[in-house]
Amino acid sequence: MVLGSAGQLADEFTVSNGDLIAGTNEEASASIPFGCLAYRSSVEGVKLPTTLAQAKDAAGILVKEEIFDNITQLTDVTVHTNPQSAIKPGVTGSFLRHGRIIVIPENTGTISSGVFVRIVAGTGSVGGFRTAGVVGETVVLTQLARWLTTPTAGQPAVVEIDLTNIDLATAS
């Protein structure tokens, strides 16, 4: 069982050496949940991916930090039927490109299951992670990521990701 919450860096190595970049939520009204993937929408901005091309321009996974003001910068959202916090439009956060981070998987799998990110809202949330692909709704990240703990639907799990070769991502 993994202790922690979505978007929390999973180990001291990632805290000290993880590849993080800053990005400002440029969504018109949507918030970006911690532990979800966002893409680079401009030089400084990020949005949730809704196409394969956008997923291939991934900025990283939103990191949960204690620097946010709960009232003005965060909002409560639901990710895969789980309550979670997210940054509001106009708020800048850190996005992990390389390292280990806690996410909340949409479905249950095994430690050897593939890693997929949702680009179409369905049974889960856009930018969220799955252990199996859904044709037309997810992007394969298995070449770039792996589960380090057994992914169980709605429970924290650790994923290791390296987005330096994001062009290898393919549609499900």
Is residue 110 pLDDT above 90, yes or no?
yes
pTM of the predicted model as reported, rounded to 2 decimal places = 0.95
The mean pLDDT of the chain is 94
Locate the DSSP E strands across the chain: 19-25, 32-33, 37-40, 45-47, 58-62, 74-79, 82-87, 92-103, 116-118, 129-130, 138-140, 145-147, 157-162, 170-171
Q: What is the pLDDT of residues 2-55, one digit of tens each?
A: 889 999 999 999 999 999 999 999 999 999 999 999 999 999 999 999 999 999
Helix (H) or strand (E) holding 55: helix 52-55
**pLDDT band with cut points at 50, 70 and 90 for residue 165:** confident
For residue 82, the model assigns a pLDDT of 86
3-state DSSP assignment of residue 13? helix
Q: Compute the half-sphere exposure of residue 88: CA atoms within 13 Å on the CB side of its CA.
A: 9
Q: What is the pLDDT of residues 65-75, one digit of tens each?
A: 989 998 999 99
User: ∠40-44-49 over CA atoms, to 5°?
Assistant: 20
Is residue 167 pLDDT above 80, yes or no?
no
